[in-house]
Every structure is written in C-alpha cells, then in structure tokens.
A and B are shown apart, each in its own frame.
Chain A
Amino acid sequence: MTVPAPRARRSSVARFVAAYGQEIVIACALIALFIVVSAINPRFLGANNVNTIVSGNAYIAVAAIGMSMIIITGHIDVSVGALIGVLATISGTLAVSGYPVWVAWTAPIFIGAAINGGVGALVAYGRLPSIVVTLGMLSILRGGLVSSTGGAWINDLPPAFQIAQARWFGAPAPIWFMVILTVLAFLWMKNTAFGRSLYAIGGNAEAARAAGIPVERRTVQVFMIHGAFAGIATMLFATQLRVIQSTVPPNLELTIITASVIGGVSILGGTGTVIGSTLAAVLFAAIGSAMIFVNVSAYWLRAVIGLLILVTVLADMARRNREFWSNQR
C-alpha cells in the first residue's frame, strides 16, 4: 500500500464499506434476525437448528454462486431449476444402477457444464438474448425430465450416496461445500484476470472487446462454470433424502436469481459478489425458520420474502439515486 505523494484519499475502511455495502447490509440483517428471534425463542440459536437452516439450503447458495457470475456478466438463466431437476434424476439413476457413488456425484457437474456450454454458445455466437434461450431450455429440460421419468420417484438410494447428510469436523457437509466454494469463487472473481473480465463484460461488453477480452469465449465459459455449480448444487440437493422426486421446489430458478440480486448483484451486470448471494440465501432460510420459532404461520413465508425483496431493492435504488446526484457536481 505504498503510494507516493500525500493527497486526499478515502480510508481503507470507507473504501471497504463503499465496495461491499450490500454484503454488509445483508450480514447485519442476518445478525439482527438471529438476535431478535433468539430473544423471543432461545432454541432458535441452537447449533442443531442453525445447522439445519443452513445445510438444507446450501444447494441454493451454491447454485446462486454460478447464477451471480452469469448475472455479473450481463446475462440471466431462468432454466437452472429445471436443470437441477434433470441432473438430480441422472445422478440418482446412476446411483441406483450400481455405479460408484463418486460417479453419481460428479456426473451432474460435467453434464451441467456441457448443457450450459451449449446455452452459452447460442447466447455468444447465435447472438440470442440469454433470457430467450434459457426460457426455451426451461421447457426442454422440464419436459425432458417428466417424460424420461414418467413422474416416478427414485427410491432405494444407497446410503453411501447421501453426502448431504454427512458431517465433517462437526458440521454438515453442505455447509463446508457452501462456505469453501463461496470463498474460492469470491477470491477467484476478485483476483484473476478471468474473474475480472466477467465484470468487464457485464459492465461494457463493447469496451471489453476493445480491451482484448475474448467476449464470446468468456460467455461460453461462464455458462459452463455456472452449469458446473448447478451440478454441485444437485449433489447437495439430490442426496438430502432417501428418494429423489422428479420435481424441484416450484420457482427454484427465481429463488436462486433472487438470492443473487438481494446479495447485491446488479441485474444490469457488472457489479456484485458471491459473498452477498450466499449471505442472502442463508438469510432466506433463516427467515423461514424464524417464522416457525416466533409462531408466524409458515404460509406467510413467501409474502415476507417478497416484501424483503422489495424493501431491499427500494433501499438500493434510493442509495443509487443519491450517489447519482452527488456525482453530478
């Protein structure tokens, strides 16, 4: 941090707050939630409950990492929920057909990357808007899933397959996955030329091209990475229970997009971090659990999350508008 010549410069704290404003807000909201709810019902803060909250939803956070990269690059993927459904079925089928469990775990990662590589190619080289391509993929994957399984569940999964129920060093495996992947993805996006090029493309694709970034190739690659994260999310999702249903939670793709957006990833591309999206995914899960602990009907969960989205977004817009005006001088 040696910079010559004294001049007016913001302190490193101010810089940190400016750069990670949304992440800080979510973290504070999360802490506030834990304090308030555990004051009402101390059992909320029990290690078991916290583990359950986080591990049951870790797959959403993991999928949101890939989604954040896609949105930062200036695209969107509305098919990821259906993709996770398809990959879960593939994974379960492999597991019950006698393949080693590591094959069943990793196959979705490669297949996810391959499928989304195709999506990325259509977006990058076919010059189709990503929302159109993934809308089409949503139909294809959803229909493909149901027609291949006929709606049947996969039962009798081998116990060794249940990685989501494993505990490592006293914590559920999904939490390890979530934390490690989030940190790695964050560092990778912050400190590598590849990671920064995603921000550049999302911020100004023309300028990125002029700066020598191979925009098309990067687009395909980021879709593949996103597919791989969907594959890892599948691994955590499909191994939660003894059965794999041929459905995923309704609106899963929108939940994942929401986690990214609430976490501070601008839908217009170019800004945000995966720390934010992971925190947001945890926050949703915590709110769901908190409602039970303070005796609010769980039926209102979605309404609360909807309100939360709107409040966050409106606050964010208000902040941006203020910045905008202060820059005009």
Chain B
Amino acid sequence: MTARGFLRHETILALLVLVALFVLDRQSDRFLTVDNLFNQGRLMTEVGLIAIVMTFVIVTGGIDLSVGSILGMTAILIGVFWKNMGLPLPAAIGMGLVVGAFAGFVNGVIITRFKVPPLIATLGTLALYRGIAEGVSEARSVRGYPEWFFVLGQGELWGAPTQLWIFAAVAIVAAVVLAYTTFGRTTYAVGSNEVAARFSGLGVDGAKIAIYSASGLAAAIAAAIFVSRVSTTRSDMGTGIELDAITAVVLGGTSIFGGRGTIIGTLLGLVLIQSLKNGLSLAGVKSDGTVVLIGAVLILTILISNLVHRDATR
C-alpha cells in the first residue's frame, strides 16, 4: 500500500471528473458558472459532510447505516427543543448536535463493547433512531424558524454559501487527520488488521467509538443545515442518505473491506456524482435518468479499478 497504490484509483477518478466536467460544459453554458457551482455545493453539503466521516468508518472496515436516521432524529429534536420546549434556537441546535454525537457514540459502544457487526448494529439503530423521530414528531412538521437561521442553509458568507465554508473546513481537517496524524494511522491499521492493531497496543475501541460518534455528529450538523435550507423539519428527512454517502465513499476508492481509502477520493466521488446530477439535468436529462447513470458509474469505476489493481499486484 504505497502512495502509488493509493493514488491509482484517485487518478482514474480525477480524469473521469475532468471528462465529465468538459462534456457537461459543452452541453450547457449555464453549467460552469459560479452561481451554478455554488448552488451545487449547497446541495452537496449534507451528503458530503456525512460521506467525509463515513470514509473513516469504512476505512476501519465498518459501515454506518444509521446516519440518515440520526439526521432525521436530530432535525426533529431541534424543532422540538426550540418550539415545544421553548429553548433559544442556538441552544436547541447545540443540544441537537449533542444528541447526534451521542447517537453515534451508542453505535460505537454496541459495535466495540458487544462485538456486534457494524452492519447489523447500525441497521438496528437505523430503525430505532428513525422510529424515535417518527414517534416524537407524530408526522407533524415544525416550521416558522426565525429569519437569521436561514443564513446557514440559504445565505452567504464571504461571498460563498455559508454551509460550503463548514464543509470545506470539515473536509480539510478530515483529510489532514486521516493522512498525517497518529489517529489516521490507527484508523488504517484497524481496517487492515484489527487484531494486530490491538496487539500493537493501539487504542482500537477508543478510535472506533470516536469515529462513530463523529459520524453521528456529522449527521447532526447536516441536519441543522438541511432544516435551514428547506425551512422546515420533517421526520423523514435524510431517508436513504446513508446509501448516497456510501456510494460517494466507495466511488472514491475506499475499500468496503477497510484499510484503504482517502478523503480526496471521497471528495472526487462527491463532485462526480453532483456534477453528473446537475449537468445532465441542465442538458435536459431527467434527474432519475441521472440516478441510473450514477449507479452504472459506481459499478464500472470499481470494476475498472479492480482490474487495474489485479494487473498491478500479479
């Protein structure tokens, strides 16, 4: 697993992104405009935040299916804390973030302490957290948020959409942490050989719990942004977002078996998906046709990358 091995998939993907951008630009003169790109950035932020932390999760060999439910639950709770319990909105959001991180922490504890496979553990909490959202909200939505709150999801800061700054900050921190810190190294070691990592005296369980908690926190941040962007809270928010995030991560070259993957790859995966969605719709393809294409691109990219890798290793 040298730097070259890491880069190979990302290089293929970067070329693919460039080709896509070039082709899409030829289809519509509205595609490569600052306004359009910023707008796409807005739409990408929620799944992007989740995908970035999901990269850590998958690099450890785990998976987190509950993020969409955590998003829904947090969104509902922010609304409830604010409207029904009368907390000031910033405090409600703060408590929402705490709840999200705690929900992730619970995932981490179930996975490390009780040795439940992550797929099963988060399948259970997917139902549980979504169930809490549904039970608490009873299918009622919360509206009427104060105007200043919409800055987060609909406004701009220093000339760019507010949430893009949050996204950029999270992405940079995550990229540095994964590539250049002892925590990142531990993450890779856990994913490549968890037993050996434990036998090397690395804090395996602690790292995993931290990562799942961060995953819950990312989903909660995404929830706040989501609520601000669409001006309302509903219990079905974020349904299926876990699969979109996993798609971006896997498309970005992170091995579903763990031990391999980068934040850059995930970002490229996100950009490719979003530009296909947007560019094709500008070119007149229906958005559902785009979803088909994304599925096909996912399978083909991994297939090609697999073939290249096999040639390289044998």
A and B, direct touch (CB closer than 8 Å)? yes
Residues of A within 8 A of B (CB): 76, 78, 122, 126-129, 131-133, 135-147, 250-251, 254, 257-258, 261, 267-268, 297, 299-307, 309-310, 313-314, 317-318, 321
Partner of B130, one of A122, A127, A135, A306: A306
Q: Which residues of B contact A135 (CB under 8 A)?
A: 243, 246-247, 250, 295, 298
Interface of chain A, main secondary structure: helix
List the B residue with the shortest CB-CB distance to A147: B288
Q: How far is the CA of A257 from the CA of B122 in the complex (A)?
A: 12
Q: Which residues of B contact A303 (CB under 8 A)?
A: 127-128, 130-132, 134-135
Partner of A143, one of B138, B295, B303: B295
Q: Which residues of B contact A300 (CB under 8 A)?
A: 131, 134-135
On whether the beta carbons of A143 and B114 are closer than 8 Å, the reply is no
On whether the beta carbons of B289 and A143 are closer than 8 Å, the reply is yes
Q: Which residues of A contact B124 (CB under 8 A)?
A: 306, 309-310, 313
Is B117 interfacial (CB 8 A cutoff)?
A: yes
Q: How far is the CA of A91 from the CA of B221 in the complex (A)?
A: 42
Is B302 interfacial (CB 8 A cutoff)?
A: yes
Q: How far is the CA of A318 from the CA of B116 in the complex (A)?
A: 10
Encode contact with A along B252-266: 1 for CB under 8 Å, 0 otherwise. 000011000000000
On whether the beta carbons of B135 and A313 are closer than 8 Å, the reply is no
Q: Chain A's nearest CB lies how many Å from the CB of B276? A: 11
Q: Which residues of A contact B294 (CB under 8 A)?
A: 139, 143
Q: Which residues of A contact B303 (CB under 8 A)?
A: 122, 126, 128
Known: A258-B123, A267-B117, A297-B138. A139 touches B247 (CB 8 A): yes
Partner of B114, one of A297, A304, A314: A314
Q: Which residues of B contact A299 (CB under 8 A)?
A: 134-135, 137-139
Q: Which residues of B contact A306 (CB under 8 A)?
A: 124-131
List the B residue with the shortest CB-CB distance to A119: B299
Q: Which residues of B contact A254 (CB under 8 A)?
A: 65, 123, 126-127
Q: How far is the CA of A131 from the CA of B130 in the complex (A)?
A: 22
Q: How far is the CA of A240 from the CA of B68 in the complex (A)?
A: 30
Q: Chain B's nearest CB lies how many Å from the CB of A303? A: 3
On whether the beta carbons of B131 and A317 are closer than 8 Å, the reply is no
A-B pairs with beta carbons under 8 Å apart, 16 shown: A128-B303, A135-B295, A135-B298, A138-B243, A138-B295, A139-B247, A143-B291, A261-B123, A302-B130, A303-B128, A306-B130, A309-B120, A310-B124, A313-B116, A317-B114, A317-B116
Q: Which residues of B contact A305 (CB under 8 A)?
A: 127, 131
On whether the beta carbons of A261 and B120 are closer than 8 Å, the reply is yes
Q: Chain B's nearest CB lies how many Å from the CB of A71? A: 10
On whether the beta carbons of B298 and A147 are closer than 8 Å, the reply is no
Interface of chain B, main secondary structure: helix
List the B residue with the shortest CB-CB distance to A261: B120
Interface residues on B, range: 35 or more
Q: How far is the CA of A305 from the CA of B306 in the complex (A)?
A: 38
Is B286 interfacial (CB 8 A cutoff)?
A: yes
Q: Chain B's nearest CB lies how many Å from the CB of A305? A: 5
Q: Chain B's nearest CB lies how many Å from the CB of A313? A: 5
Q: Which residues of B contact A250 (CB under 8 A)?
A: 236, 239-240
The 5 closest A-B pairs by CB, nearest first: A303-B131, A306-B128, A143-B291, A139-B295, A302-B131
List the A residue with the shortest CB-CB distance to B134: A299
Q: Which residues of A contact B292 (CB under 8 A)?
A: 139-140, 143-144, 147
Partner of B256, one of A132, A141, A309: A132
Encode contact with A along B299-314: 1 for CB under 8 Å, 0 otherwise. 1001100100010000
On whether the beta carbons of A309 and B135 are closer than 8 Å, the reply is no
Q: Which residues of A contact B239 (CB under 8 A)?
A: 250-251
List the A residue with the shortest CB-CB distance to B129: A306
Q: How far is the CA of A274 from the CA of B1 in the complex (A)?
A: 41
Q: How far is the CA of A140 from the CA of B243 in the complex (A)?
A: 13
Q: Chain A's nearest CB lies how many Å from the CB of B287? A: 8
User: Can you name 19 extra interface pairs (CB under 8 A) apart from A299-B139, A306-B128?
Assistant: A137-B295, A138-B243, A139-B294, A141-B295, A143-B293, A147-B288, A251-B130, A251-B240, A267-B119, A267-B120, A297-B135, A299-B134, A299-B137, A300-B135, A301-B131, A301-B134, A306-B125, A310-B124, A310-B125
Q: Chain B's nearest CB lies how many Å from the CB of A249? A: 11
Is B271 interfacial (CB 8 A cutoff)?
A: no
Is B4 interfacial (CB 8 A cutoff)?
A: no
Partner of A132, one of B130, B240, B250, B290: B250
Q: Chain B's nearest CB lies how many Å from the CB of A26? A: 16
On whether the beta carbons of B257 and A146 are closer than 8 Å, the reply is no
Q: Which residues of B contact A138 (CB under 8 A)?
A: 243, 295
Q: How far is the CA of A146 from the CA of B114 in the complex (A)?
A: 41
